[in-house]
Chain A
Amino acid sequence: MAPIRVGIVGVPPLDVIRELCEADCRILDLDEPQVHKSIDLSSELLPRVYCAILRTVVLNAMFLDLDRVYIDVGPGKCDCALHVASILEEMLTAPVIRTTNLDNQPFGTPICRTRMKLFDKFMAVTAGVRSVKPADNLEPCTPTAGFWGVPPRDFSILEAFPDTTHIYGWTRCMENKTPADLELETHVNPDIPMVFFSQSFCAKSALAHHLARLHPRALFLDCDVTAGNSARAKIEAFLELSGVPTGPEG
């Protein structure tokens, strides 16, 4: 029998993930691109000028044959998800279950703090959402740069960063399996240059901008669906001018 296909949006509570894993469900993270279709197809249901992550959610839901969707609409996600839940409910025949993840048991953040390609770190953290297990106990490295924010829609902006970049913000909360932990989300390192990333039209852009303003060496970066040349150039110049060695040796 084919496994039950369950879409998740945000980080549903651990109890939900445990239940899905025990039932051998196939968990599909709708926040990530899962279908090779133009994101503009989602504009039938969602405005074009909207968070690219949630546009991706709607696009995925349009083309994936899902049996159920769990969408976190609490303080661990965003108000936009609350409204997208209504849209999903109207467009799908499958049940759409709203959750409010207030999990507060910390699982640790070894991936965010280890030496590894930033791209691979993000892949590992986002994959971890579908698991109830903590990440492997990786050795922490001394950070030379920081990336604060949610996992970007376009991972290509991560390429310029050195392997010793630490991840902060909501992505760190994801790995810790405490997505509503605002204290952890606002934690930064003032001793290293940091890029404060915001997905365009995301409510967290206010927090990204605020933290960047307070940080002594910060770059506030806002990107929509794909990162343009100017976004990549900004990161490259910021790291170089901050004296951050890039590449695997960085």
Chain B
Amino acid sequence: MILADFGTSYCKILETESSQPPRIIATRDLAPDFRADLATGHNAARRSRKHVNELTVLARGGECLIDDPDFVLLDCGSRDIKFVRYRDGQVADMGWNTECGASMGFTIELLGRYYNLEYDKLEVPLQGFPVTCGVLGMSNIFDAVVSGLSETEAVARFIRGIAVNGYRFAGSPEKLYLSGGLCDNPLFVGCFPCRVMPLGRFVLLRGLRQYLKNNG
């Protein structure tokens, strides 16, 4: 059975009968006729036999991976951010922001390529920009560069602003479990004003497996 998390920029694909780890394919490189058996993500409805709500699989993935009845799990994707909060092993709150949290991951990747930055070599800045979304936040970078700040520092401050925005969106927890490709970006992870536990980019796939187990 093929499970897939069809993200906006990257697709994560798992063949349940195979011992291989999940594959990551850029969405633009995915064959047009590729279909999954069970999937989640923006393109899941048209690329799979059955699709599951992203928040549901995020929560199910969190239940499997986090050994704590109380947790906040934030997924930062290319295009949107979403979180689930559990209290006493039950879902207590959740949110999905496709507008004000829009394009965070995509913008961070775009900026890294444009300015040729290696995020693992950047220092966490002391301050961040007041960023509400990736697209609107870019103006802060351009303004800062015009006023004499280095491109590197401007992007770092932008990323700090993005991280703080995600942290507040998730309810400003003391400890935050993080899901998504940005777990691999040390600058982003380091910019959160709380303890961060990165779970990697396959949390939604884990949630799909659990969904499959629960629903047959």
Contacts and interface: CB of A to CB of B under 8 A. Distances in A.
Interface of A: 212, 216-220, 228-230, 233-234, 236-238, 240-242
A160 to B, nearest CB: 10
B144 interface: no
Contact of B56 (A212, A220, A230, A240): A240
Given A233-B96, A241-B84, 17 more contacts: A216-B87, A217-B91, A218-B92, A218-B93, A219-B93, A219-B94, A220-B93, A229-B98, A234-B55, A234-B96, A237-B55, A237-B59, A240-B53, A240-B56, A241-B56, A241-B59, A242-B91
B92 to A, nearest CB: 6
B132 to A, nearest CB: 15
Contacts of A233: 53-55, 96
B95 A234 contact: yes
Contact of B91 (A228, A230, A236, A241): A241
Tier of interface size on chain B: 10 to 19
A29 to B, nearest CB: 30
B95 A242 contact: no
Q: Which of A230, A233, A241, A242 has the most CB of B within 10 A?
A: A241
Q: Which of A228, A236, A238 has the most CB of B within 10 A?
A: A238
Contacts of B91: 217, 238, 241-242
A236 to B, nearest CB: 5
B80 interface: yes
B53 to A, nearest CB: 5
A230 B98 contact: yes
Contacts of A229: 98
Nearest to A193: B91
A216 B70 CA distance: 13
B16 interface: no
14 contacts: A216-B87, A216-B92, A218-B92, A218-B93, A219-B93, A230-B97, A233-B54, A234-B55, A237-B54, A237-B56, A240-B53, A240-B56, A241-B56, A242-B91
B139 interface: no
Contacts of B80: 230
A228 B42 CA distance: 13
B100 to A, nearest CB: 11
B56 A236 contact: yes
B150 interface: no
B90 interface: yes
Interface string B19-44: 00000000000000000000000000
Interface in B47-100: 53-56, 59, 80, 84, 87, 90-98
B87 A237 contact: no
A240 B97 CA distance: 19
Nearest to A228: B98
B95 to A, nearest CB: 7
A242 B84 CA distance: 12
A218 B87 CA distance: 11
9 smallest beta-carbon distances between A and B, as pairs? A237-B55, A241-B91, A230-B96, A237-B56, A230-B98, A237-B53, A233-B53, A241-B59, A236-B53
Q: Which of A229, A230, A236 has the most CB of B within 10 A?
A: A230
A230 B101 CA distance: 12
A246 to B, nearest CB: 12
Nearest to B98: A230
A242 B89 CA distance: 11
B171 to A, nearest CB: 9
Nearest to B45: A229
A234 B59 CA distance: 12
Nearest to B56: A237
A58 B29 CA distance: 49
Nearest to B91: A241
A237 B97 contact: no
A91 B53 CA distance: 45
B82 to A, nearest CB: 8
A242 B91 CA distance: 6
B40 to A, nearest CB: 10
Given A236-B56, A237-B59, A242 B93 contact: no
B90 A242 contact: yes
A193 to B, nearest CB: 8
Nearest to A215: B92
